[in-house]
DNA sequence: TCGGTTGTGAACCTGATGGTTAAATACGTT
DNA sequence: AACGTATTTAACCATCAGGTTCACAACCGA
């Protein structure tokens, strides 16, 4: 799982980690603050943060004994692009665009009878 | 990892599985066809396909001894929405929109001196 | 019915994940 | 220097992921 994309998707594949990101979307927070809503040891949260940091989804500062976490959503860019590549397969607006194009040029190819039905 | 979103991200967190999806984007394919570019046993590919199917990213037909796989990109909807929630944190157009809004209303709040600097 | 091809299932192995508890570290306060 | 708070590290454990090989099932063709 050495590539960045895998690391990103992997990091996002855990509810606890997604909850942490959601929390950080509303502002930086310390580890203890992030751990508070979860029934889990601080050490476990610390591990999750390491995964998120490794994926470039958060960064950590240093303020006295606190290590405030900061959302680095830019780490999702590549993942977003990946998924967008597939949007045309499900998005209705793409589907209707496809229909529209079909209407415009009902027969531009010069061969293949295209008789296959059922 | 019972929730759909986790399953989706998990399925996407593997290069082999992403390659399979990419291949299916250009049309349905049998298991052997999908396996061909990978240095891996057929059984391993079969497992990957099960993961993808479990995440709702592909479906499988049945034609004689072949089990043609079909891309079900709709399974990415939720994942796409999730990531889009964070786009404003990195997308430049969102950033400049923020700047623009700031220009429009430099002081709309009635209280808090907001003197905190550095 | 006997092969040949396609795909899955079961058993197995190795290494990684996700959690635990118990030290250890880093820092501010007294 | 000693204490308290915040966080990480280490050691450990159970389970899972991803791969293997081998046997088997499903199907076509002769």
Q: What is the pLDDT along chain B (118 residues), one digit of tens a residue?
A: 589 999 999 999 999 999 999 999 999 999 999 999 999 999 999 999 999 999 999 999 988 889 999 999 999 999 999 999 999 998 877 666 666 666 665 544 433 333 333 2
Tell me if A79 sits within 8 A of A5, measured CB to CB: yes
pLDDT tens digits along A17-75: 999 999 999 999 999 999 999 999 999 999 999 999 999 999 999 888 899 999 999 99
User: pLDDT value at position A95?
Assistant: 64
Put simply, the answer to whether A18 touches B82 (Cβ < 8 Å) is: yes
Rounded CA gap, A48 and A38, in Å? 12
Looking at residues A98-109, what average pLDDT do you find? 57
B101 falls within a domain: no
pLDDT of residue B99: 63
| Residue B36 domain flag | yes
- Tokens 């990946």 found at: A82
CA B115 to chain centre: 42
Give the CATH number, domain containing residue B9.
Answer: 1.10.10.10
A15 at the B interface (CB within 8 A)? yes
Asked if A51 reaches chain B (Cβ–Cβ under 8 Å), the answer is: no
How confident is the model at residue A110, as a pLDDT? 35
CA of A65 to C1' of C28 (A): 8
Backbone phi and psi for residue B68, each to the nearest 5 degrees, phi listed first: -60, 135
Q: Number of folded domains in chain A?
A: 1
Tell whether A91 is covered by a domain: no
What average pLDDT does this structure show over A2-15? Answer: 96
Specify the residue for token string 């396996």: B35
Q: What is the DSSP string of A46-110?
A: HHHHHHHHHTTSEEE--BTTB--EEE-GGGGHHHHHHHHHHHTTT-HHHHHHHHHHHHH-S---S
Host domain of residue B41: 4-74
What pLDDT sits at residue B112? Answer: 36
Q: Å between B12 CA and D29 C1'? A: 40
How far is it, in rounded angstroms, from Cα B69 to Cα B59?
6
């Amino acid at each position: 799982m050495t590539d960045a994309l895998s690391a990103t998707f992997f990091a996002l594949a855990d509810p606890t980690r997604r909850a942490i990101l959601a929390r950080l979307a509303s502002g930086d927070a310390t580890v203890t603050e992030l751990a508070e809503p979860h029934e889990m040891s601080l050490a476990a949260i610390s591990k999750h943060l390491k995964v998120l940091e490794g994926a470039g989804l958060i960064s950590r500062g240093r303020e006295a004994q606190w290590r405030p976490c900061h959302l680095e959503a830019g780490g999702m860019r590549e993942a977003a692009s990946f998924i967008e590549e597939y949007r045309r397969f499900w998005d209705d607006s793409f589907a209707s665009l496809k229909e529209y194009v079909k209407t415009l040029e009902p027969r531009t190819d010069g061969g293949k009878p295209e008789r296959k039905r059922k």
